[in-house]
Chain A
Amino acid sequence: MSLMRVFDVSGSALNAQSVRLNTVASNLANADAVAGSAQEAFRARHPVFQAILGTTLADWQDSRASAGVRVLGIWISTAPPPMRHEPDHPLADADGNIWASNVNVVEEMANMISASRAFQTNVEVMNTSRDLMLRTLAMGT
């Protein structure tokens, strides 16, 4: 029954969006972290999503209508960490410089709202499908 596959598809989306929320939480938590060198500075992490399509031909023909989503990997931002001159800082290097994280807080907040909305949409899809299935089960009574 194809309504059953809606749960697989939406479930994979919930999983992917929660990974995204996790990375947002980790980025925001480390937004103010500082380090003594550019290499050690915290860099923002972002998940990259990919559609899950069938692997075999039969698989593909049978369920090509549905495509779940998975997290292909975590991409680490390559933006240069901002350098500040703070000679009094305990982590400062010989020249008195420290490096902050390259997390963009505004971008992370926008990302969080987007992930939260996507999560809500997919929960709504699951609820609707569940209602339809329950009504189908009660057909003719």
Chain B
Amino acid sequence: MTSIEGILGVHEPMLRFRAERAEVLASNLANADTPNFKARDLDFRRVLDSVQGTGQLSIAQTRPGHLAASGTTSSGGELLYRIPFQPSLDGNTVEGPIESAAFGENAVRYQASLMFINRKVAGIEAALTGQ
């Protein structure tokens, strides 16, 4: 029998990653008119690697003040800077439609993860009640 923690599988860390990415994209959209603001995003591949345990080795952090080698967040995602298609004069690299599209896509994928979890719960309930 599988342990209760493993039931939700990859979907639970995915949900956390999607929530974090929503925050990063919301920051980009909020700063769409801020001079010199650089748009950022999280790398999905790194998160998947860290969830599956196949990620790259990182520098050990033995004290709370130590910085990570790269800008990792609590869900293991790496904060990278977006390369703009058309740089603007004020140094801002936020491109509204691209950020909006990424935010929408992120929201849909969040709902997809939620749906997987809900179906899993429904399946377990059906197995428990035997109906």
Q: Which residues of A contact B (CB under 8 A)?
A: 1-3, 5-6, 9-10, 12-13, 16-17, 20, 48-51, 57-58, 61, 64-69, 114-115, 117-118, 121-122, 124-125, 128-129, 131-132, 135-136, 139-140
Instruction: Tell yes or no: B32 within 8 A of A by CB.
Output: yes
The reply to whether A67 and B31 form a contact with Cβ atoms under 8 Å apart is: yes
Given contacts A51-B37, A117-B96, A129-B22, 13 further A-B contacts (CB under 8 A): A10-B29, A49-B35, A50-B34, A51-B31, A64-B79, A66-B27, A67-B27, A67-B31, A68-B30, A118-B29, A118-B33, A128-B22, A136-B15
Instruction: Tell yes or no: B19 within 8 A of A by CB.
Output: yes
User: Which residue from chain B places its CB closest to the CB of A117 in the assembled complex?
Assistant: B96
Query: Which 8 A-B residue pairs are closest in the complex by CB-CB distance?
Result: A13-B30, A140-B121, A49-B34, A67-B27, A6-B26, A2-B19, A2-B23, A9-B26
Instruction: Tell yes or no: B107 within 8 A of A by CB.
Output: yes
The reply to whether A66 and B31 form a contact with Cβ atoms under 8 Å apart is: no
How many residues of B sit at the interface, in one of the four size bands? 35 or more
Chain A residues closer than 8 Å to B23, beta-carbon distance: 2-3, 5-6, 9, 65-66
Chain B residues closer than 8 Å to A128, beta-carbon distance: 22, 103-104, 107
Chain B residues closer than 8 Å to A140, beta-carbon distance: 117-118, 121
5 A-B pairs in the complex with CB atoms less than 8 angstroms apart: A3-B23, A12-B30, A51-B34, A67-B37, A121-B96
Instruction: Tell yes or no: B50 within 8 A of A by CB.
Output: no
The reply to whether B29 and A2 form a contact with Cβ atoms under 8 Å apart is: no
Assembled-state Cα–Cα distance A49/B22 (Å): 22
The reply to whether B31 and A121 form a contact with Cβ atoms under 8 Å apart is: no
The reply to whether A64 and B71 form a contact with Cβ atoms under 8 Å apart is: yes
Contact residue among A12, A67, A132, A139 (Cβ-Cβ distance under 8 Å from B22):
A132
Closest-CB distance, A71 to chain B (whole angstroms): 10
User: Which residue from chain A places its CB closest to the CB of B120 in the assembled complex?
Assistant: A140
Closest-CB distance, B92 to chain A (whole angstroms): 9
Chain A residues closer than 8 Å to B121, beta-carbon distance: 139-140
Closest-CB distance, B58 to chain A (whole angstroms): 14
Chain B residues closer than 8 Å to A13, beta-carbon distance: 29-31
Chain B residues closer than 8 Å to A117, beta-carbon distance: 96
User: Which residue from chain A places its CB closest to the CB of B18 in the assembled complex?
Assistant: A132
The reply to whether B65 and A57 form a contact with Cβ atoms under 8 Å apart is: yes
The reply to whether A129 and B114 form a contact with Cβ atoms under 8 Å apart is: no
Instruction: Tell yes or no: B64 within 8 A of A by CB.
Output: yes
